[in-house]
Structure 1
């Protein structure tokens, strides 16, 4: 059984200039590049998801979890869904 690990991008692509982490998904630019590489292992992706969740807190973590869960189930982030409904 093949399990596809969905990218943590939730379409809120703005980088905090102080930390270098994306406000939406908590990744840095290097991590974003690694996610796109075909040879990136599922194990690396699972560990990276744990890492980025540890970076986020409060409302930011809650927002990420809600949108990422929605994306896994529906194939689209909540942000992109809201754009479709406008």
Structure 2
């Protein structure tokens, strides 16, 4: 199972329409939740997301997403729990 790229920083950039945290559009977020969405689509979407993001935003996404995959929680949520 492919883990959702949501890293719990859910705010849409008004100029691009993409989430600041995960780089997805609202439509892509909706598709991720559908039961019939294939693993192939999700893998392709992850590639698209990584091409959309750059610099610190891409670095932050990769770090938090890897942490979420390995620990079941994004770094953002982990840090909230530790406060």
TM normalised by structure 2 equals: 0.99
Q: Could you say which residue in structure 2 is the equivalent of 1:67? A: 64
**Runs of 4+ that moved beyond 4 A:** none
| 1:16 corresponds to 2:13 | yes
Kindly state the Cα deviation for residue 36 of structure 1 after the two structures are TM-superposed. 0.2
Measured on the aligned residues, the alpha-carbon RMSD in Å equals 0.2
Gaps of 5+ in 2: none
CA drift at 1:74: 0.3
